[in-house]
């Protein structure tokens, strides 16, 4: 398996420049993973499939879904892509490399774990600040247009917030100076996580059922349903920051009430 990956990587670095891989390649990879993982949830909602796992009974209209997609394409090509193109010197200065040999899986997994910790910390505090009155009204309210989120709404946001999210994601790699393949894997994992958190479905196989402190769709869906001053659940991937600072109390109380109601229903059956 390692030899196959190395051969594929050798082909890439032989036929494309570092600039093409780090900028254009990263953009194309992001777009592919984001839309391929997010679009299925639109069709699930429209068709009503797996509706028993849907967190909210309310559905988005086709017009609202199409507005989200068109706005995303505008933001991605007019904000994300230019930022990636002009950020190439930053990638180089932070020590990013694309040459062989590839880093070991131990190095890759350790670095990505570190990126999650850093990103969670920055995102939590930035997200709390975005829920202050002025910033919510002028910036973050764009993201909250969808009280019933679906996968693609994860990146539906004001351009200023898009830049903040990009900053939170890149700080970890900027500290370690990773191999480009590590940066790509981090981007893929991060995109899949945020799409899952906004998907609107809580499945029996959802990661939050198996991984302690992982937020997931049920945790983040609660954040979208409430008024901006009372929402809580500000965490990105893992929920320890909300637990430490008590900003998940409303969610925990709701879960406790639902659990008690389920127990009563089970006894009555």
The pLDDT tens digits of the residues spanning 210-238 come to: 999 999 999 999 999 887 767 899 999 99
Examine residue 225 and state whether it is found in any structural domain, yes or no.
Answer: no
184 bridge partner residues:
none
- What phi and psi values does residue 121 have, to the nearest 5 degrees? -65, -50
Examine residue 262 and state whether it is found in any structural domain, yes or no.
Answer: no
Examine residue 224 and state whether it is found in any structural domain, yes or no.
Answer: no
Examine residue 245 and state whether it is found in any structural domain, yes or no.
Answer: no
Instruction: State pLDDT tens for residues 7-49.
Output: 999 999 999 999 999 999 999 999 999 999 999 999 999 999 9
Mean pLDDT of 157-171: 94
Instruction: State pLDDT tens for residues 89-103.
Output: 988 888 899 999 999
Examine residue 25 and state whether it is found in any structural domain, yes or no.
Answer: yes
Examine residue 203 and state whether it is found in any structural domain, yes or no.
Answer: no
Rg (CA), the chain: 20
Percent of the chain with pLDDT over 90: 86
Mean pLDDT of 159-188: 95
Structural domain for 44, as ranges = 2-196
Helices (H) and strands (E) in the chain, counts: 13, 0
**Number of folded domains in the chain?**
1
Examine residue 109 and state whether it is found in any structural domain, yes or no.
Answer: yes
- To the nearest 10 degrees (0 to 180), the angle between helices 26-47 and 180-197 is 20
Examine residue 28 and state whether it is found in any structural domain, yes or no.
Answer: yes
Q: In the prediction, which pLDDT does 85 show?
A: 93
Q: In the prediction, which pLDDT does 68 show?
A: 98
């Amino acid at each position: 398996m390692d030899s196959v990956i190395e051969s594929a990587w050798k082909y890439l670095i032989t036929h494309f420049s570092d600039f093409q891989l780090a900028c254009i390649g990263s953009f194309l990879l992001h777009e592919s993973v984001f839309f391929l993982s997010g679009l299925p949830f639109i069709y699930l909602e429209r068709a009503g499939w797996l509706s028993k796992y849907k967190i909210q009974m309310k559905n988005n209209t086709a017009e609202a879904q199409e507005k989200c997609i068109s706005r995303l394409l505008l933001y991605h090509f007019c904000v994300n892509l230019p930022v990636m193109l002009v950020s190439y010197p930053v990638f180089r200065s932070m020590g990013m490399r694309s040459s062989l040999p590839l880093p070991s899986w131990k190095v890759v997994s350790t670095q990505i774990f570190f990126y999650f910790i850093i990103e969670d910390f920055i995102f939590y505090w930035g997200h709390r600040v975005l829920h202050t009155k002025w910033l919510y009204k002028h910036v973050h309210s764009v993201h909250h247009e969808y009280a019933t989120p679906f996968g693609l709404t994860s990146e539906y946001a004001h351009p200023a917030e898009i830049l903040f999210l990009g900053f939170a994601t890149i700080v970890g790699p900027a500290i370690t100076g990773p191999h480009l393949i590590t940066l790509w894997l981090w981007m893929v994992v991060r995109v899949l996580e945020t799409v899952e958190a906004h998907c609107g479905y809580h499945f029996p196989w959802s990661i939050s059922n198996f991984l302690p402190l992982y937020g997931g769709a049920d945790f983040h869906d609660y954040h979208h349903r409430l008024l901006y001053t009372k929402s809580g659940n500000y965490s990105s991937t893992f929920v320890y920051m909300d637990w430490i600072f008590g900003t998940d109390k409303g969610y925990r109380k709701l879960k406790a009430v639902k659990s008690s109601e389920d127990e009563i229903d089970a006894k009555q059956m």
